[in-house]
Amino acid sequence: MKMKSLIHVVCSLILLTACANTGTPGGGPKDETPPKLLRSVPEPNATHFNGKRVELVFDELVSLENVGQKVLISPPQKRSPSIKAIGNKIVVVFEDSLLMETTYTIDFTDAIVDYNEKNKFGDFAFSFSTGSVIDSLRVSGYLLDASNLNPLPGILTGLHDDLNDSAFVKTGFKRISRTNTDGFFSVKGLPSDSFRLFALDDRNRDYRFDQPGEAIAFHDRVLIPWSEPALRPDTVWKDSLTVDTVYQTPITRFRPDDVLLYYFFEDFGRQYLSKRERPAPERLGLYFGYKSETLPHLRLLNAEATDWFVLESNPTRDTLIYWITDSALIAMDTLQVELQYFKTDSTNQLQAQTDSLLLLARRKKTRVQSQEKQETAPKPIEIVHMGLRVQLSDPLDVYAKPSIVWETPVKRVEGNPWHLYKQVDTLWVHEPCVVEPDTSHLRTFHLLADWQYETSYKFEVDSGRVFDHYGKSNKGYSKTFKVRAAEEYSRLIVTIQGLEGPGFVELLGRTDQVVRRLRIVEGKADFQHVAPGTYYLRCIEDANGNGVWDTGNYADKRQPERVYYRPTSVQLRANWDVEETWNVQEFPVLEQKPKELYPKSKR
């Protein structure tokens, strides 16, 4: 009995040890085999299905990754179905009633993985029909950011069989898909019917474009899906370097499979007063939520004054600084004003709005000295000058227009306080120059001169000659600098072909940032005085000739302005002229943008 008991204990220990080590034995090969689908209820492409539950049974334990982002039911459901991994099963339970005579597609993309090693089952979609026919056609393509051709992942794409323009706005999509990491989409389960194709940043998950802040894309043409037999080349390798056999595998090719959608935000924003302040007694600030075509109207309620401010506005009129010029108003701690402006209402229309604002001045605190520490002798009056910032680099580029930015708006300039000198041998000789105000920025002036290569200059501003509205004048200013040598620059002349209508070319740095922008004149863009380095080229159609990229508008059926990239970089060396001819239509859109300019996650 003792021997039997001992054997029983040993066997139990062995069994427990085996149960505790269910994974791959140490040192064994890693499992790289994806799960295998054994069966399903209903069967794939089943017809006349009227159940509420779909089960997929695999040969091993499985799990789901990012169900909310990766798994889509088409046609879309008002109430999201339950989608779970249970052991070796994927179970989908529908909460909504299924439509009659309709093909349903559960597009898992690559969400199904094995439980232990996360090997992906693959790009997988499961279809069934509540009627007698399975619709198996599809429409595929790529979604790109219209402004820079970056592929966009995780964006909803959808089709309407209602071809009216209002369908995108009023009703949900008929069939849907979502773009993968490369911006690729494939809307499956389609009949041979006519469709319109869209993409949508569906913020409220109603599958329609009912919020102006949602980004969209739309295809100009009506699409009719179809299929054709095709051959796919498959290769058998003897080893990692040697091909054994290349053979052709018959497949069905679903068309169209090369549709391009250009994704954009419409030029829309909600207009409202986001902030108001009086950070100093002489200054009011009003900040709005979006650019405006008009300026608001201000009326004083607790004082009488005319022409009591100077307005500093940015070009989009959403940041407004009111410089108060009336000393009596500056002395008042509180100003009450009536503000009349346009505000976006709940229907996204601009309506006249009138607000009454109380604006309290923030005044600098002064330190009160104790009686025993007060000095008996009077202090000299401290002269406060206008603040001045001159953006004048050394060395200076030959094409530069240095900026002079004042702390407060300039009221008057006495005489000519600006002096430019050029060094000739050891002497400083007067050089002609012009200082003119910036038309878009109230407190900014620009220094203009005919700069000469590799020459030293000195710029001076006389003190006490520039005055603001508050009795302050400027300090003197002097700076010596030198203009770069001609040999330090390169020149790039680009001849553009394949572009219809006006446009401009942008010279880009390594992170897709704009270094220089030039309008195309007589088919050329001539970039002069460029620092040596590696650059890239982007060309933009400019239908309205405003010199900037313009977005699209769905109501007007206007696509965003087309953007093109030159697939290869341009190397510019010092003291070299480089001429390039670029046909913007030579390469397909998907092959244009250099990989180095993609976001890091896409390279």
Asked if 178 and 93 touch (Cβ cutoff 8 Å), the reply is no
Q: Is residue 341 part of a domain?
A: yes
| Token pair in block for residue 547 | 């010199």
* 344 pLDDT above the threshold of 50: yes
For residue 364, what are the contacts with CB-CB under 8 A and spacing of at least 6? Answer: none
Q: Each residue of 267-307: pLDDT tens digit?
A: 999 999 999 999 999 999 999 999 999 999 999 999 999 99
Q: Each residue of 227-265: pLDDT tens digit?
A: 999 988 877 777 777 777 777 888 899 999 999 999 999
For residue 472, what are the contacts with CB-CB under 8 A and spacing of at least 6? Answer: 384, 385, 386, 408
Eight-state DSSP code of residue 384? P
Q: Each residue of 68-78: pLDDT tens digit?
A: 889 999 999 98
Q: Is residue 235 part of a domain?
A: no
Asked if 143 and 185 touch (Cβ cutoff 8 Å), the reply is yes
Q: Could you tell me if 84 and 153 lie in one domain? A: no
Q: Could you tell me if 459 and 420 lie in one domain? A: yes
Q: Could you tell me if 477 and 579 lie in one domain? A: no
Asked if 163 and 222 touch (Cβ cutoff 8 Å), the reply is yes
Distance CA 342, CA 353 (A): 6
Q: Each residue of 175-184: pLDDT tens digit?
A: 999 999 899 9
CATH number at residue 86: 2.60.40.1220
Q: Is residue 371 part of a domain?
A: no
Q: Is residue 383 part of a domain?
A: no
Structure confidence at residue 108 (pLDDT): 93
96 burial (CB, 10 Å; 0-12 / 13-18 / 19+) is middle
Asked if 417 and 465 touch (Cβ cutoff 8 Å), the reply is yes
Residue 295 φ/ψ, nearest 5 degrees? -100, 145
Confidence of residue 374 (pLDDT cuts 50, 70, 90): low
Q: In the listed set 465, 486, 507, which residue is the last one of a domain according to the structure?
A: 486
Q: Could you tell me if 125 and 210 lie in one domain? A: no
Q: Quick one: average pLDDT of 486-514?
A: 96
Structure confidence at residue 123 (pLDDT): 87
Ranges 381-395, 527-541, 549-563: which has the least confidence: 381-395
CA distances from 279 to 309, 327, 363, 443 (A): 15, 16, 8, 18
Please provide the size of the chain in residues: 603
Q: Quick one: average pLDDT of 376-404?
A: 86
Distance CA 189, CA 128 (A): 9
Q: Is residue 378 part of a domain?
A: no
CA distances from 470 to 309, 326, 412, 442 (A): 12, 9, 11, 16
Query: Which residues lie across from 360 on neighbouring strands?
Result: 334
Q: Is 17 helix (H, G, I), strand (E, B) or coil?
A: helix
Q: Could you tell me if 521 and 583 lie in one domain? A: yes
* 90 pLDDT above the threshold of 70: yes
Average pLDDT, the chain: 91
Q: In the listed set 486, 515, 543, which residue is the last one of a domain according to the structure?
A: 486
CATH number at residue 151: 2.60.40.1120
Distance CA 534, CA 31 (A): 45
For residue 9, what are the contacts with CB-CB under 8 A and spacing of at least 6? Answer: none
* 7 pLDDT above the threshold of 50: no
Q: What does the angle CA 442 – CA 448 – CA 451 come to, to the nearest 5 degrees?
A: 155
Asked if 196 and 159 touch (Cβ cutoff 8 Å), the reply is yes
Eight-state DSSP code of residue 88? T
Q: Quick one: average pLDDT of 421-426?
A: 95
Query: Residue 283 carries which side chain, given as an amino acid letter?
Result: R
> HSE (CB half, 13 Å, CA atoms) of 394?
10
Structure confidence at residue 31 (pLDDT): 72
> For residue 22, how many other CB atoms are within 10 A of its CB?
7
Confidence of residue 4 (pLDDT cuts 50, 70, 90): very low
Eight-state DSSP code of residue 328? H
Residue closest to 71 by CA, chosen among 108, 105, 35, 99: 108
Percent of the chain beyond pLDDT 70?
Answer: 92
Q: Could you tell me if 292 and 338 lie in one domain? A: yes
Structure confidence at residue 17 (pLDDT): 40
| Token pair in block for residue 545 | 């000739």
Structure confidence at residue 464 (pLDDT): 94
Q: Could you tell me if 467 and 524 lie in one domain? A: no
Q: Could you tell me if 568 and 552 lie in one domain? A: yes
For residue 542, what are the contacts with CB-CB under 8 A and spacing of at least 6? Answer: 501, 502, 503, 504, 519, 548, 561
Q: What does the angle CA 156 – CA 68 – CA 133 come to, to the nearest 5 degrees?
A: 65
Confidence of residue 5 (pLDDT cuts 50, 70, 90): very low
Structure confidence at residue 221 (pLDDT): 96
Q: Is residue 496 part of a domain?
A: yes
The residue with greater pLDDT, 368 or 95, is 95
For residue 589, what are the contacts with CB-CB under 8 A and spacing of at least 6? Answer: 144, 149, 260, 564
Q: Could you tell me if 536 and 463 lie in one domain? A: no
Q: Is residue 246 part of a domain?
A: no
Eight-state DSSP code of residue 578? E
Q: Could you tell me if 510 and 583 lie in one domain? A: yes
Count up the domains in the chain and report the number. Answer: 5
Asked if 143 and 179 touch (Cβ cutoff 8 Å), the reply is yes
Q: In the listed set 129, 148, 181, which residue is the last one of a domain according to the structure?
A: 129
Q: Each residue of 125-170: pLDDT tens digit?
A: 999 999 999 999 999 999 999 999 999 999 999 999 999 999 999 9
Q: Is residue 23 part of a domain?
A: no
Distance CA 412, CA 254 (A): 73
Percent of the chain beyond pLDDT 90?
Answer: 82
Distance CA 206, CA 102 (A): 20
Q: Each residue of 554-597: pLDDT tens digit?
A: 999 999 999 999 999 999 999 999 999 999 999 999 999 999 99
Structure confidence at residue 238 (pLDDT): 75
Distance CA 331, CA 361 (A): 9
Structure confidence at residue 247 (pLDDT): 79
Residue 174: domain span:
137-230+257-263
For residue 77, what are the contacts with CB-CB under 8 A and spacing of at least 6? Answer: 94, 95, 96
Q: Could you tell me if 152 and 100 lie in one domain? A: no
Query: Residue 41 carries which side chain, given as an amino acid letter?
Result: V
- Beta strands 124-129 and 175-178, pairing class: unpaired
Q: Could you tell me if 306 and 352 lie in one domain? A: yes
CATH number at residue 300: 2.60.40
* 24 pLDDT above the threshold of 50: no
Distance CA 367, CA 139 (A): 74
Structure confidence at residue 455 (pLDDT): 97
Confidence of residue 540 (pLDDT cuts 50, 70, 90): very high
CATH number at residue 493: 2.60.40.10
* 18 pLDDT above the threshold of 60: no
Helices (H), 391-519: none
| Token pair in block for residue 523 | 């088919």
CATH number at residue 461: 2.60.40.3710
